[in-house]
Structure 1
Amino acid sequence: MDRNKETESEPRIYAYSRAASAALCHVVCVGFTAFIAVQSRPGSSLFSWHPFLMTLSFSLFMSEAILFFSPYGSPIRRFPHKTKGRFHWVLQCLCGSCAVLGMAAIYYNKNLNGKPHFTSWHGVLGLLTVCATGVQSLAAVPLIHHSLAKGWSLSKLKRYHAATGLVTHLLGSTSLLLGLGTAWFTTSVGGYAWYLSALCPVFTALVMMNQVTTAQMAKKRLQS
């Protein structure tokens, strides 16, 4: 049974709600990234690159990379799985690059201003997220070159990759959420605008969780 038949076998209301959530997630990812870009004005200072690049990395690139495999809201849903994998790989490379540059920007900025590093939950979790992203990217290499993973089945590798990828995305979403509580953001954004902004990474994380867990449950049903 393929993904299209799988979606047809469930009640239409569930398929419609998931399709609507996926479509809204695309809008939220782009809208939230654009909003942070307006607030940070990348290029106006060294620090400005940090919130912009981190949001671009985890809110846009990583989220869209996962959504490429969504049977409900993928913009390339009719493409072969191998093609989706290539698009996913490209976006994940962009995600990792932006994350490293964003971390470098804040690290160098703190050095210039004589401030200590990683003294807040946001800073510590941000570092952990960037490291997890790097490890996740390296661990994905055997999916491309399966000969490197002797003794491991491709299906098992994909299952672990999906699970660890979800954890990495949740770390990124939490880091973004904590970033909205920093003085930089709260001094310029407050009230309903702040709560609406905070809902963006939360909503995106919930959609990612639903997509990955639903896919894994479907695979288990097919194997049983």
Structure 2
Amino acid sequence: MGSSQVPRYWKHTCQKQPKAPRLGIAQACALLRASGQLLTGACALRLRGVAEGGWGSSRKSRAGTSHPEVRRRSGGAHGRPPSIPFSREEVTADGRCCRLQVPAWMTMALSVETESHIYRVLRTASGAAAHLVALGFTIFVTVLARPGSSLFSWHPVLMSLAFSFLMTEALLVFSPESSLLRSLSRKGRTRCHWVLQLLALLCALLGLGLVILHKEQLGKAHLATWHGQAGLLAVLWAGLQCSGGVGLLYPKLLPRWPLAKLKLYHATSGLVCYLLGSASLLLGMCSLWFTATVTGGFWYLAVLCPIITSLVIMNQVSNAYLYRKRIQP
């Protein structure tokens, strides 16, 4: 860059300043050139610090900066976040006050990178919460029902194990942020997914059969409540969902269907199945058995559990398969 040139990416907005000291042309050009180099280096340093995850990780790069002004603004040896001016006013030789402003694409890159980092952190935290909530809710229902005390006691245990724990873990296997099996390949995670889904279906069928047998012994009517109807629909949908998953394991069985469409339909149908199971759990917590045992604030906390896991699963499936616009770093 020559001594009389100004970086092309700076925007100038000038206004008259009557009492400004006059400088020579050479001094003004040198001042503009030094300001451009200073701000460009500082912006690049800030972008590098955000991309590396924070200012602390780029301390070595700041220490190795040769320009003393950049080292002073970057915090020196104390590692403090630098105060970088994104606009600066300078006085030219003809008495004009020129405002140097960083282009919009630099600030946009910083904001997009920050949003993407925050979004990943939130998804990781929500996925970890879904793991804990699914496991905690299943343990809570198991302790509450005391399996083995009666024939009915196995029904809430098996249903919560199927729709709260096993099915949630089967779907979180594919989460890029919160999967417990991220070290496995895509094929390995797919195998774990259908194994967990098959176990969930078996537990749901067993729980449905036991409650039907219990009502037969007591002479009560079947499917007389919304909880029973939603539970039957969820179990039937889970069976159809597992049958449809065979087409993804063996795509040659459906040669006329593109694999991408099969994955999209399977993911959408699986989300509906999971929401039906969560609705069945919510309706079960409104039953006489549950409301007589759990009261007060514990009931509200129990109701929140299927809602939290459903929101996490909905976010994961919509981001992965339903063509939601992603935030690119």
Quickly name the TM-score band, shorter chain normalised: over 0.9
How far apart, CA to CA, are the structure 2 residues paired with 1:11 and 1:139?
34
Q: How far does residue 220 in structure 1 lie from its aligned partner after superposition? A: 7.7
How far apart, CA to CA, are the structure 2 residues paired with 1:69 and 1:83?
11
Residue by residue, what CA displacement relative to the aligned partner does 1:82-112 show, whole Å, maximum 9, x if unpaired? 1000000110010000000000010000000
Question: Kindly tell me: are residues 93 and 9 of structure 1, through their superposed partners in 2, closer, same or farther at Cα, counting changes over 3 Å?
Answer: farther
How far apart, CA to CA, are the structure 1 residues paired with 2:322 and 2:163?
25
SS at match of 2:293: coil
Matched, 1:16 2:121: yes
Q: Which amino acid aligns with 1:103?
A: L
**CA RMSD across the alignment:** 1.5
SS at match of 2:220: coil
How far apart, CA to CA, are the structure 2 residues paired with 1:19 and 1:218?
20
How far apart, CA to CA, are the structure 1 residues paired with 2:130 and 2:277?
16
Residue by residue, what CA displacement relative to the aligned partner does 1:144-196 show, whole Å, maximum 9, x if unpaired? 11111120111111111000000000000000000000011110101100000
Q: How does 1:18-33 map to 2 (within 5 A)?
A: 18-33=123-138
Residue 4 of structure 1 aligns with which residue? none
TM-score by length of 1: 0.93
Instruction: Give % identity.
Output: 51
Contact 2:135 2:165 in 1 (8 A): yes
Residue 170 of structure 1 aligns with which residue? 275
How far apart, CA to CA, are the structure 2 residues paired with 1:42 and 1:120?
23
Residue 36 of structure 1 aligns with which residue? 141
Match of residue 152, structure 2, among 26, 39, 47: 47
Q: Which amino acid aligns with 1:155?
A: A
Question: Kindly tell me: are residues 42 and 114 of structure 1, through their superposed partners in 2, closer, same or farther at Cα, counting changes over 3 Å?
Answer: same
Matched, 1:66 2:171: yes
Higher mean displacement: 144-153 or 51-60 = 144-153
Q: How does 1:1-224 map to 2 (within 5 A)?
A: 11-217=116-322
SS at match of 1:11: helix
Q: Which has the bigger relative contact order, CA under 8 A and spacing at least 6?
A: 1
How far apart, CA to CA, are the structure 1 residues paired with 2:212 and 2:272?
24
Q: How far does residue 204 in structure 1 lie from its aligned partner after superposition? A: 0.5
Q: Which amino acid aligns with 1:107?
A: I
How far apart, CA to CA, are the structure 2 residues paired with 1:213 and 1:9?
22
Question: Kindly tell me: are residues 219 and 195 of structure 1, through their superposed partners in 2, closer, same or farther at Cα, counting changes over 3 Å?
Answer: closer
The structure whose residues are more often helix, as a share, is: 1
How far apart, CA to CA, are the structure 2 residues paired with 1:182 and 1:82?
41
Q: How far does residue 10 in structure 1 lie from its aligned partner after superposition? A: 6.0
Q: How far does residue 78 in structure 1 lie from its aligned partner after superposition? A: 2.6
Q: Which amino acid aligns with 1:195?
A: Y
Contact 2:264 2:322 in 1 (8 A): no
Q: Which amino acid aligns with 1:38?
A: V
How far apart, CA to CA, are the structure 1 residues paired with 2:257 and 2:114?
31
How far apart, CA to CA, are the structure 2 residues paired with 1:187 and 1:23?
31
Q: How many pairs are equivalent?
A: 214
Question: Kindly tell me: are residues 217 and 129 of structure 1, through their superposed partners in 2, closer, same or farther at Cα, counting changes over 3 Å?
Answer: closer
SS at match of 1:175: helix
Residue 5 of structure 1 aligns with which residue? none
SS at match of 1:45: coil
How far apart, CA to CA, are the structure 2 residues paired with 1:77 and 1:191?
39
The structure whose residues are more often strand, as a share, is: 2
How far apart, CA to CA, are the structure 2 residues paired with 1:177 and 1:111?
24
Residue by residue, what CA displacement relative to the aligned partner does 1:106-148 show, whole Å, maximum 9, x if unpaired? 0000000000000000000100000000000001101111111
Q: Which amino acid aligns with 1:85?
A: T
TM-score by length of 2: 0.63
Structure 2 gaps of 5+ residues are 1-112
